Amino acid sequence: MFYRLRTDFRLSIITLLGACAILGVAPFAVFRFMQGEVLAGLADSVIVLCVCISVLHAWLTGRTERSGLFMAVTTSLSAVVITRIVGEPGLLWLFPCLVTSFFLTGPRVATVVNLAAILALAVQTEIFASGVHLWSFIATSLVVSACAYVFAFRNQSQRERLEHLATIDPLTGVANRRSMDQELDRAVANAERSRTPCAIALLDIDHFKRINDEYGHSAGDEVLVDLVALIEQHTRRTDQLFRYGGEEFVLLLPGTEGAGLETVLANLQFLLRKHLKLRDNAITVSFGVAQFQPGESVDSWLERADAALYEAKASGRDRIIFADLGQGQSGTTASPAAYSLT
């Protein structure tokens, strides 16, 4: 529970605002019923109910965007209804909604929600004691919304930048190992659920240390960047490439198996042999490939691919070795197959 609150910003906001709304509005609902203001009490009760539905939906489904939008719309609409019922004092309920809507949904959507709420109240001129009060309300509402928009926009930009820095390899521009762990977990869950094939290929540049020693690390970086560019140009959009560490990469190939997988990797190996060069010297790559087996863990999957890559290196490099898909039990590391595509 606390882990989700720490890692999911919007979920934490929905939960916090939900708690504040329930603790703040529920007593008013009770008070209004005690005072005989049944209609206002019902409106407050509906607000509390909608907030509870939003929080529960966010926790149960993880779809915080939908829950945030629902909460932003219902709380703003409720503020309009309450003001219609109790008069000008109800305007005070709108201002918290104007701010929180930018935390519950995106800046553009929140702007639309806020403008709609302000307009819905502004046209009800009978609520306001005078024209001065009306224009004061419009001006202050727009100022509050503008300030909240600037803060939310900057917060969103900084959060996206931090997420980018945390998941993208700065040299090659592909996803890093942290992102790979998350995507492989998703791939395993999807493969188990839908029974669709999925494979990973570990790629390692042959004699990379020699490249760095003879030509310098800048030349090695150039080879890494060229390798990524070639792979991304000749793989599907659904395939994902990750930098595993140093000169090693992981290529995730969903929906691929058997002869189709062999053909894809053979073509990729051919293209790398032909185009991956450093000062007219050809650079080769070794592959270790493992097809996902139902019931195995991500670690086991990677271990089998790594064992196949080790075999490719030990047997002469510039090879594609497929991990053995024998009858070993789930969770064990199978030995590499004794064949390669060259």
Q: What positions carry a catalytic annotation? A: 247
Residue partners of 177: CB distance under 8 A and separation at least 6: 242, 243, 244, 245
d(CA 340, CA 99): 61
* Of the candidates 25, 53, 141, 122, the residue with the CA atom closest to the CA atom of residue 83: 122
d(CA 282, CA 245): 22
d(CA 330, CA 300): 8
